[in-house]
Structure 1
């Protein structure tokens, strides 16, 4: 199902006669093959035509779709790019020995029968999703660490003079290994589109994005020691996060028992 944003893209970039040349080509092919009845013509053409002719028909359709402005804007359902990239990958599949010509029939039928634009793009999405390699689990940001025995690491175990960057960073890396993912498909649609918190999330984003430039937050303390960071964060909260019905506070700066270092700031 298309999202609200995708529906707007499709409405703003109609096919018009962008697929007219393909429809005329298909009609010529149908007549040349002696298929008289238009009803069920796509099934008949694909069953009668030699493989090369059928493949060329599908290829011509995909190339026509690639030239459409919407294809260059609609998001990919299989990667982080656009639908144009998915169609390009599909062209490679057509040229391979693994191409199943029957998989393209639903899309060709909608185009030949002048289906609404939304139905055609839905068929395109279904087709590339059906023929794309399945990635059951998003890739992890860190490769799975290999240990001699099972390990559930915690950076909280670091105390005293061993609390150096090298030691702590390694513990944090172990905590993140296998638990952090990237390139998660449809993350925004699932968690931020059409939710009760959508407007608040957008407002917070708009308030905060002007505070971030050239890879840094405005006013970020240097060095970012505990006290200076806490002062910066409280100001950030008062300005950017002021619209939220909640507030962050810090715990007391206690000393960890058995540690030579002060407790880290808890927020």
Structure 2
């Protein structure tokens, strides 16, 4: 299975498959071109018998890291983190129209998008240091005496869902270290030439999360609310999320990965974008 995957996974920068890149790494190691720090993360994951998605992510990051260590690279990065100038990073100011940017982002993410990855929910939602608190909140939501929170707006139109979400946060997440906010105009987010109006953004309370104006370099998570389950799975929705994530990466050049999600009523899809790949949970029923 691993060998088959290595031949089927391709890097966007040169269209070489992972198997070819690994053979190049092997040849370099035999010549003595080896730095342990490059291989440390992958070795540790293999020893720990980590999920396949984590190991393949480490393999792709290893290929990128070793390539960067010997190649002069641009300061611009594409989603796959390859040592090349991102085709979408050339779009600035007035030129940055939605259709053009989305078309270019689609070209970037098309070969490195993995949906409904096995083990996603276990890795990101189980056994975390906050799992106990989440369980307590969940039980309160489902408690018959306080059942108002278990009832989503029907139909889940955006304004009503946003109102429900922010009231839920005020009542049940007041002790959380991060806070969700929404943008009401395209001027609510600063830090980049692009103008975006995003449904939900998460940032630290210490970074001005309670103010009306926000900056891309403080954004931690991006989310979109949809009115149909079909919209969650739509290509247009993924490209919309991709635009937001690209802006987070642009504003935070040292950022390694970004979490994102789409929600329709009780159904959601969670995403992780990094500079190598993007992968999702598939559709989850959160009720």
Give the TM-score taking structure 2 as reference length.
0.26
Question: Greater strand percent: which structure?
Answer: 2
Higher Cα radius of gyration:
1
Q: Which has the higher contact order (CA 8 A, sep 6+)?
A: 2
